[in-house]
Amino acid sequence: MKKIAFQKHFHLFPLIFLLIGFNSSFSQVPFFEKSYGQTGVDIAFAVKQNPDSCVYLFGYSSNTSTQGEDFALSKLSPQGDFLWTKYYGTPDVDFGLYMNLADSFDLILLGLTATTGPLEQEILVIKVDSAGLELWRKNYGGPGNQSCKYVEKTSDGMYILCGSTTDAWGTNDVYVLKLDANGDKVWDTAYAAVDNDYGMKIIESSNRNYVLSSDTKSSGNGGYDVQLLGVNNSGTVNFANVHGDLFQNGCQGLMQTSSGVNVVYGETEIATFSLFDFFFYMFDEMGGFLREKVFGGTGTDALFDVIETPMAI
């Protein structure tokens, strides 16, 4: 399993985005900067602003009445003033990993829950309204471990998720899960391979098809490389392209530009065991590789999200 470094306490820097123009950059002064948390562990992985202009933070916390960590959702005013935190979980350990907007003012919360022990994990999805009232919750899993780290609502009113699942040989395969509006499973697919592969982000493109970015150790030039998968609305693969080099490449996500270019981003070594730099790998709508950009400073650089600006890429 991959290891992720965490920081203690919710820490929010609204309106700070990575704005990329390859030859120029732009930064903004924070509207506010505040910390939220208690004496235990409070970790936020996602921040969203609802149409009501309030800001929502989502992750997990040990400051609950259960024995382990639970999903934690905090609501802030548009000015960053703390309004409330609500917890969702089970008597086991529940890690909140991602949140996205759902219907109207509702939110979809995504994470994993330990079922029969630390090596048995299932996906947990909870839908809540803007007051934090739970609308429904569902578990999805099977033998071994299942985990998803991204979810978004699709144009047909359903939800698409991606992550990983362990196979019969004990390695991780890319996993995609489609849910209906009530959280019932429509279909799921694991893309089996010989080594560890992790789905990082899936987005709806055109004609209800999807594009998926993933880390792959099964394909490429050794170590981890970046894989871009195109799948249709039943999970069948339309294309699969891998890009990388002899060094380690860590995929963090995917963004599709208004012109249909798929931008995969993350961090990469520039020499064996070197510190990481940022990377952008750009693919066309059918997964054909276009170009790449690697840049960074003297230390370690990690890139976790990208948005498109009015400037042309």
Question: What is the rounded CA–CA span in Å between residue 106 and residue 135?
Answer: 9
More confident residue, 229 or 12: 229
Angle at 161 between CA 158 and CA 164, to 5 degrees: 155
Last residue of a domain, one of 139, 167, 199: 139
Do 190 and 90 have their domain in common? no
296 and 162 fall within a common domain = yes
H or E element at residue 225 = strand 225-231
| pLDDT above 90: percentage of residues in the chain | 63
Whole-number pLDDT of residue 11:
37
- Computed from CA positions of residues 32, 126, 188, 92, in that sequence, does the dihedral angle turn out positive or negative? positive
**Mean pLDDT across the chain:** 86
User: Do 121 and 156 fall into the same domain?
Assistant: no
- CA angle centred on 29, ends 23 and 33, rounded to 5°: 130
pLDDT tens sequence across 151-163: 999 999 999 999 9
Q: Which residue has the tokens 């609308």?
A: 135
Q: How far is CA 309 from the centre of its chain?
A: 21
Q: Residue 10: is its pLDDT beyond 60?
A: no
Domain extent at residue 194: 141-313
pLDDT in the model for residue 232: 95
> pLDDT tens for residues 57-86?
999 998 876 667 899 999 999 999 999 999
The answer on pLDDT for 32 being more than 90 is no
Same domain, 168 and 133: no
- Whether residue 9 has pLDDT greater than 50: no
pLDDT (0 to 100) of residue 165: 95
Distance of CA 32 to the CA centre of its chain: 25
Identity (one letter) of the amino acid at 24?
A: S
Examine the domain organization and report whether 165 and 310 are in the same domain: yes
Residues 310 and 257 occupy one common structural domain: yes
Length of the chain: 313
Q: What is the DSSP letter of 119?
A: T
Cβ atoms within 10 Å, residue 31:
12
Confidence grade of residue 206 (pLDDT, cut at 50, 70, 90): confident
State whether 10 and 110 are in the same domain: yes
- The whole-number pLDDT of residue 49 equals 93
Report, as an integer, the average pLDDT of 256-269. Answer: 93
End-of-domain residue from the set 82, 109, 139: 139
Q: 135 with 157, same domain?
A: no
Residues 160, 83 share a domain:
no
215 and 269 belong to one structural domain: yes
Q: How far is CA 173 from the centre of its chain?
A: 16
Work out whether strand 172-179 and strand 159-166 pair parallel, antiparallel, or are unpaired.
antiparallel
Q: How many distinct structural domains can be found in the chain?
A: 2
Domain shared by 72 and 170, yes or no:
no
In degrees, rounded to 5, the angle at the alpha carbon of residue 185 between the alpha carbons of residues 149 and 182 is 90
275 DSSP assignment: P
What is the per-residue pLDDT across 79-132, written as a single tens digit (0 to 9) for each?
Answer: 999 999 999 988 888 999 999 999 889 999 999 998 655 568 999 999 999 999
Same-domain status, 95 and 224 = no
Provide the pLDDT for residue 23: 40
Place of tokens 């639970």: 70
Q: So what's the pLDDT on residue 107?
A: 98
Q: Is the pLDDT of residue 313 over 90?
A: no
Domain boundary pick from 115, 139, 163: 139
CATH code, domain with 233: 2.115.10.20
Which of 87, 85, 84 shows the shortest CA–CA distance to 66? Answer: 87
DSSP codes joined into one string, 134-179: EEEEEEE--SS-EEEEEEEE-TTS-EEEEEEEE-TTS-EEEEEEEE
Q: Which residues contact 193 (CB under 8 A, 6 or more apart)?
A: 171, 173, 174, 216, 218, 219
What percent helix, strand, coil does the chain show, rounded to 5?
0, 55, 45
Question: Does the pLDDT at position 205 exceed 60?
Answer: yes
Cβ–Cβ < 8 Å for 42, 35: no
Quote the pLDDT of residue 274: 93
Do the Cβ atoms of 64 and 43 come closer than 8 Å? no
